[in-house]
Amino acid sequence: MYPQVQLHIAGAWRAASSGDALDVLNPATGEAIGALPVATDADLDEALASAARGFTVWRRTGAFERYKIMRKAAELLRERVDTVARIMTTEQGKPLAESRAETLGAADTIDWFAEEARRAYGRIVPSRASDVMQLVIKEPVGPVAAFTPWNFPINQAVRKVAAALAAGCSVILKGPEDTPASCAELVRAFNDAGVPKDVLNLVFGDPAHISEYLIPHPVIRKISFTGSTAIGKQLSALAGKHMKRVTMELGGHAPSIVFADADVKKALAVLTANKYRNAGQVCVAPTRFLVHESVFDAFLDGFVSISNNLTVGDGLDPNTNMGPLAHSRRIDAMESFVADAEARGAKPVTGGKRIGNRGFFFEPTVFTDLPLDSKIMNEEPFGPISAIQRFSDDEEAFEEANRLPYGLAAYAYTQSGKTATALAQRVESGMISINHHGLALPETPFGGVKDSGYGTEGGADAIEAYLSAKFVTQQGL
Ligand code: NAD
C-alpha cells in the first residue's frame, strides 16, 4: 500500500494549505499511485518559523542526547526496512534489494553522524600572555535548507539531515517530488525517535519556487543541494548573493579506465554491477569506459553479454536485476543520447530502445568508439547507457579522464602500483576507486571537485559543513 504523502511542519503531518497536489507515479506502470502535496508560501513561512524555533531548542540539546535520539532513529529505520523498501521501489523503480540496502545504509549513516555529534571538538590555542585563555568552539551554523533528488530518496536526504542534526542545526528538507513517500519515512523515523518538534520540517512542491523562497530567507543559514550541475550553479549563485554557506553534490561523468594489465574479469563484474545499479541513475555510476586496445575486445564482449543477460522488470519482482527509469524525463533523455550517437553514424552494439510502452523501461545500451564531441561523451547519461572507448597509450586515458569539467568519481583497474599511484595523483576527481568499488561509505569522504560541486558529505569532515568556529579569548584568569 502506497501511503498518503504529507508535509511535516512544526511537528504535525498535514496536507498543503491550498490542498493542491500533483500525481506520484509508479515508474514500472506509469500509473498514478499517490498525490504530492504542493507547499504554499504560507506553508513555507510556517516551516521557516518552526525551523527558527527548532534551532533554539536543538542547539541547546546536549550532544549526548542528540546522539541517543539519532541512534534510536537508525534502529527504527532498520525495524521498518521491509515497509520502507517496498514504498521506495513502488515510487522509484529500483529493485527491492537495492531499496533495502539503501534503507539499511541510511541507518548506518545516521549512526555515524550520531557518533560525530559527540566528537565535534573545538580546541585551545596557547596564548601569548599567561593570564589569557584562547578557545575555539564549534557552534551549529543555524537552520539548514536541504534539497534532495529522486534517485536515492533516502540516502541523498540522510547525508544532509543526519549531519545537520548531529551538529545541532534545525532543518527544512525539500524532498523529491517524484519519490516523496520513502523520503518522508526517513523524517518519520527521526520524529518517532524523539527529535523535538520544529527541528526537522519536510516540504514538497515546486522545487524552483521553494528554493527561491527559502535560500534568501534570513532564517536559513546553510544550503545543501544534490542534483544537476546546472541547477547547483543557480542555487550557489543565489546563496552567494545572500552570503549563505553551501554544500553542492552535483553531476559527474565517471571515467572508468581498464589498463592493459587489468584483471578484466573483475573489472567487468564490478563495473557492470555499478553501471546498472539503479538503472544507471547514480551520480557516481561508471559512465565513460576507457579500455586499453589489448583488452578491448574481451572487455566489450563481456560487457555486452552481461548487459544482454540482465532481467529488466518491475523492481518488486525478485528476479529483476534492473528496474525502470524513475520517470519519463529519463526516457526522453536516453532517446536523445541514442539519436545523437546515431546521427554521427554510430550504432548501438546492444540496446538503444525503450522497452514497451507501459512504465519507463529502457534497454541496457552500449556504444563504442564514439567521437569525442558526441553527447554521451560530454553529458552525464544518468541511465543505462555506456560509451566504451579504446586507447593505445596510457597518457590518452589520463587526458580523456580529465577532459570534462566534471570531477566526482573515477574508477580504474590495473595491477601496477606505479599506475595506481599516478591515478591517485593525476585524476581530477573527488573520489577514485582502484580495482574495486569502494565509494559512499558513511566514514569516507563523498563529494566532487570542479563542476561536480563543493564540500563533502561523508567522513570526519562532513559535520564541519554544519558548524562554525567561534574564537573566544578571555583575560583575567
Ligand atoms: P531536474 O534538474 O529537474 O531535477 C533534479 C533534482 O533537482 C530534483 O530532485 C528536483 O527537485 C531538484 N531541482 C530542480 N530544480 C530545482 C531548483 N530550482 N531548486 C531546487 N531543487 C531543484 O532534473 P531531472 O530531470 O530530475 O534529472 C536530470 C538531471 O539531474 C540528471 O541527468 C542528473 O544529471 C541530475 N541529477 C543528479 C542527481 C545526483 O545524485 N547528483 C540526482 C538526480 C538528478
The 10s digit of each residue's pLDDT in 118-168 is 999 999 999 999 999 999 999 999 999 999 999 999 999 999 999 999 999
Residue 477 has pLDDT above 80, yes or no: no
Tell me if 447 is assigned to some domain.
Answer: no
Residue 414 to residues 153, 258, 290, 295, Cα–Cα distance (Å): 34, 7, 12, 12
Q: Is the same domain home to 218 and 244?
A: yes
- Which residues span the domain enclosing 144? 7-250+452-473
- Alpha-carbon span 289 to 307, nearest angstrom: 14
**Nearest-CA neighbor of 442 among 22, 110, 23?**
110
Tell me what pLDDT residue 223 has: 98
Q: Is the same domain home to 77 and 150?
A: yes
Strands 354-355 and 286-292: unpaired
Does 329 sit in the ligand 1 pocket, CB within 6 Å?
Answer: yes
Q: Which residue has the cell 528476479?
A: 319
Q: What is the pLDDT of residues 16-45, one digit of tens each?
A: 999 889 999 999 999 999 999 999 999 999
Per-residue cell: 301: 564482449
Q: Is the same domain home to 432 and 467?
A: no
Q: Is the same domain home to 58 and 135?
A: yes
Q: What is the CATH number of the domain that holds 151?
A: 3.40.605.10
Does 383 sit in the ligand 1 pocket, CB within 6 Å?
Answer: no
CB 56 within 8 A of CB 110: no
Number of other CB atoms surrounding residue 150 within 10 Å: 23
Q: Is the same domain home to 214 and 279?
A: no
Does 226 sit in the ligand 1 pocket, CB within 6 Å?
Answer: yes
Does 149 sit in the ligand 1 pocket, CB within 6 Å?
Answer: yes
| Shortest-distance Cα residue to atom 20 of ligand 1 | 207
Q: Is the same domain home to 241 and 267?
A: no
Could you tell me the distance, in angstroms and rounded to a whole number, from the CA of residue 151 to the centre of ligand 1? 9
Q: Give start and end residues of each alpha helix (H) in 153-206.
A: 155-167, 180-193
Helix/strand/coil percentages in the chain, nearest 5: 40, 20, 40
| Shortest-distance Cα residue to atom 44 of ligand 1 | 227
Tell me if 25 is assigned to some domain.
Answer: yes
- Alpha-carbon span 151 to 43, nearest angstrom: 26
Strands 144-147 and 222-226: parallel
Q: Which of 91, 102, 249, 380 is catalytic?
A: 249
Helix axes 180-193, 63-79, angle to 10 degrees: 130
Looking at the structure of the chain, the number of domains it has is: 2
CA-based Rg of the chain, rounded to a whole angstrom? 23
Per-residue cell: 447: 563529494
Tell me if 337 is assigned to some domain.
Answer: yes
Tell me what pLDDT residue 225 has: 98
Q: In the chain, how many H helices and how many E strands?
A: 13, 21
Q: Is the same domain home to 413 and 461?
A: no
What's this model's pTM, rounded to 2 decimal places? 0.97
Per the annotation, the verdict on 139 as an active-site residue is no
Tell me if 367 is assigned to some domain.
Answer: yes
Tell me if 354 is assigned to some domain.
Answer: yes
Tell me if 446 is assigned to some domain.
Answer: no
Q: What is the pLDDT of residues 193-206, one digit of tens each?
A: 999 999 999 999 99
For the segment 83-102, the average pLDDT, to the nearest whole number, is: 98
End-to-end alpha carbon distance in the chain:
64
Number of other CB atoms surrounding residue 309 within 10 Å: 10
Residue 391 has pLDDT above 90, yes or no: yes
Tell me if 322 is assigned to some domain.
Answer: yes
Tell me what pLDDT residue 462 has: 97
Per-residue cell: 46: 510556517
Q: Is the same domain home to 342 and 278?
A: yes
Residue 6 has pLDDT above 90, yes or no: yes
Q: What is the CATH number of the domain that holds 364?
A: 3.40.309.10
- Alpha-carbon span 447 to 128, nearest angstrom: 39
Q: Give start and end residues of each alpha helix (H) in 319-445.
A: 328-343, 394-401, 417-426
Residue 275 has pLDDT above 90, yes or no: yes
For the segment 90-117, the average pLDDT, to the nearest whole number, is: 98
Q: Is the same domain home to 169 and 232?
A: yes
Dihedral angle at the C-alpha atoms of 436, 278, 87, 445, nearest 10 degrees? 40
Q: Is the same domain home to 284 and 135?
A: no
CB 170 within 8 A of CB 55: yes
Q: Is the same domain home to 299 and 315?
A: yes
Residue 370 has pLDDT above 80, yes or no: yes
Tell me what pLDDT residue 1 has: 86
Does 211 sit in the ligand 1 pocket, CB within 6 Å?
Answer: yes
Angle, CA of 48, 52 and 57, to the nearest 5°: 140
Q: What is the pLDDT of residues 188-240, one digit of tens each?
A: 999 999 999 999 999 999 999 999 999 999 999 999 999 999 999 999 999 99
Per the annotation, the verdict on 283 as an active-site residue is yes
E strand intervals along 113-267: 123-125, 132-140, 144-147, 171-174, 200-203, 222-226, 245-249, 254-258
Per-residue cell: 330: 529519463
> What value does the mean pLDDT of the chain take?
98
Tell me if 434 is assigned to some domain.
Answer: yes
**Ligand 1 pocket test, candidate residues 228, 234, 379, most atoms within 8 A of CB:** 228
Q: Is the same domain home to 372 and 242?
A: no
For the segment 337-354, the average pLDDT, to the nearest whole number, is: 97
